[in-house]
Amino acid sequence: MGAVVFSILRPKDKSEAEVETGLVVLKDLTSVVNCSGTIQPKRKVDVSANAMGTIVNLAVVEGQRVLEGDLLLEIDPSEYRSVVLSLESTVNTARADLRLAKASLTKAKQDEARALELFDEGLASRENLDASKTSAEVEAARVEAAGHRIKQYEANLAKARHDLEKVTITAPMSGVITRLNVEEGENAIMGTLNNPGTVLLVIADLKTMEAWVEVDETEVVNLSLGQSTEVEIDAFPELTFAGRVTEIGNSPLRLRTGSSREAVDFQVKITLDEVVPNIRPGLSAKAEIVVAERVQALVVPLGAVTVREYPLKTSDIRRYTGRRARKQEAALSELGFQSRPALEDSTDAGQVERKDKEGVFILKDGFVKFTPVEIGIAGEDDFEVVSGLSVKDKVVTGPFRILRELKDGAQVKTAKKGKHEPGRDSD
């Protein structure tokens, strides 16, 4: 009997939903872009073959440190050396031919001079004089042709000597051999217009390393050169390395997803500020790029922000009657809640344009009111509030299934202490 009496006397809970809440507070806020990629050297050189042949001397091993100008490898020079020797002989022969042509020219000029003397004395005919002049001109042309042939052969010889030099490959820069793709005895293939040829080895400067990360198209617009970054390398799980954004790609990297859509990312390069011992190109890395910071900003929990058509329709506003209605209007009037006639005049008029607005539900004495807000940067757990809220405003943060259907003016009860509220650790 006593239990029945207690049940009758206990006030009836008239709330429509049980919600989680949080408070609007002041705190320092940092907005970051999270991305991932690989570690790569800032400067590296792919060493390819400029001559074709068998590698007869491989002077380095992978991981070896080399200085600029050090011997890397040598391709069989036999064929190239024979071409040089052949062209040297050709040049020497051409020079001998030039000397012979010059001697013939000298003799032809002497014959022309004697013919002219004899013609003046009447001892030679005009025909003999003209023949001697023509012979001298022919020999002069032979001398000129021999000189041009020598220049041609010397040019061929210079090219052959250059090809012979290319069989000996030296280091174009100081660094570490990070990749060695060939062994002694293998054939080196020279690149062509459509074929890049054999990359024999890669030399990289490991003193300055970069994180090459991929950033989504919606976030790359917030990046700028020089932004500070923290990089985590999977191979060094307990260390974090500072860096700066030094390059932002202008061309997208399009990646196929499971459907017909393409994910559009952009490559961003982050230069590490310090030398990392034992680092290797290709190591996996994650980066947090700081894109904005606020000191003592007004913030609201991420889960509190929702979207509604605004101004609200009358059907989107929860109405009560009697004492409950008076309690509702008293509570919500403190939050700027309009009276019923004003609501009907402002929200039911056909000329009022309604747009989707970001906002939050403020909680006062058990009733909620939707309030549009202007959002700034986003932190890990909070949004910056530019306008629309005040410090210590209590807002509904969830659950999402309830927040999605919640109506303006609804009566709710609080499930537990929420984010930023006393009694719960705040960030």
Whether residue 232 contacts residue 286, with contact meaning beta carbons closer than 8 Å, is answered with: yes
Whether residues 162 and 247 fall in one domain: no
Tell me if 2 is assigned to some domain.
Answer: no
The pair of three-digit structure tokens given for residue 204, joined into one six-digit string: 């990289």
Please give the pLDDT value at position 365: 86
CA distance 258 to 316: 39
Give me 144's structure tokens: 């000129």
Which pLDDT score is estimated for 421? 65
Mean pLDDT computed over 9-35: 81
Helix 78-120 / helix 126-166 crossing angle, nearest 10 deg:
170
- Domain membership flag for residue 364: yes
In this prediction, residue 415 carries a pLDDT of 79
Q: Which of 357, 389, 361 is nearest to 304 (CA)?
A: 361
Q: Per-residue pLDDT for 420 more than 90? A: no
Indicate if 68 and 81 belong to the same structural domain. no
| Distance, CA of 60 to CA of 426 (rounded, Å) | 58
Mean pLDDT of 328-357: 59
Q: What is the mean pLDDT of residues 72-82?
A: 94
Shared domain for 56 and 142, answered yes or no, is no
pLDDT digits (tens, 9 = 90+) for 204-253: 999 999 999 999 998 999 999 999 999 999 999 889 999 999 999 999 88
Between CA 288 and CA 295, with CA 291 as vertex, the angle to 5 degrees is 110
Residue 47 confidence (pLDDT) above 60: yes
Do 332 and 374 have their domain in common? yes
Is 90 exceeded by the pLDDT of residue 115?
no
Contact 385, 300 (CB under 8 A): yes
Same domain, 61 and 190: yes
Give 253-292 pLDDT, tens digit per residue.
876 555 556 778 999 999 999 998 889 999 999 999 999 9
Domain containing residue 371: CATH number: 2.40.420.20
Do 224 and 361 reside in the same domain of the chain? no
CA 395 to chain CA centroid, Å, is 40
* 357 and 287 within one domain: no
Q: In whole angstroms, how far apart are CA 393 and each of 272, 375, 415?
A: 42, 16, 17
Instruction: Tell me the Cα Rg of the chain.
Output: 44
Condensed to tens digits (0 to 9), the pLDDT of residues 176-213 reads 999 999 999 998 887 655 565 678 999 999 999 999 99
Domain assignment present for residue 426? The answer is: no
Same domain, 162 and 175: no
Average pLDDT over residues 36-48: 94
The reported pLDDT for the residue numbered 1 is 43
What's the one-letter identity of residue 257? T
**What pLDDT band is residue 125 in, cutting at 50, 70 and 90?**
confident
Q: Is residue 421 part of a domain?
A: no
Q: Give residue 112's pLDDT.
A: 87
Q: Is residue 368 part of a domain?
A: yes
Cα-based distances in Å from 155 to 149, 159, 300: 10, 6, 78
**Mean pLDDT rounded to a whole number for the chain:** 85
The verdict on 314 and 395 lying in the same domain is yes
Q: Tens digit of pLDDT for each residue in 372-400?
A: 999 998 888 899 999 989 999 999 998 98
Instruction: Show which of 233, 261, 293 is a domain's final residue.
Output: 293
95 lies in the same domain as 147: yes
- The residues facing 309 across adjacent strands are 356
Picking from 293, 312, 334, the residue at the C-terminal end of a domain is: 293
- Ranges 103-107, 263-267, 345-349, 350-354: which has the least confidence: 345-349
Residue 424 in domain: no
Residue pointed to by tokens 């929702």:
306
What percent of the chain has a predicted confidence (pLDDT) above 90?
Answer: 55
> Exposed, middle or buried, 47 (CB in 10 Å: 0-12/13-18/19+)?
buried
| 4 belongs to a structural domain | no
Q: How confident is the model at residue 119 (pLDDT cuts 50, 70, 90)?
A: confident
For residue 378, tell me if it sits in a domain: yes
Residue of higher predicted confidence among 419 and 130: 130
CA 380, CA 290: separation in Å to the nearest integer?
Answer: 12
CATH number at residue 224: 2.40.30.170
Same domain, 205 and 236: yes
Last residue of a domain, one of 255, 274, 293: 293
Check whether residue 312 and residue 386 sit in a common domain.
yes
Mean pLDDT of the 30-51 span: 92
Q: pLDDT: is 56 or 198 the higher one?
A: 56
- Owning domain of residue 375: 15-28+298-414
What confidence score (pLDDT) does residue 339 get? 47
Number of domains in the chain: 4
Checking if the pLDDT of 366 tops 50, the result is yes
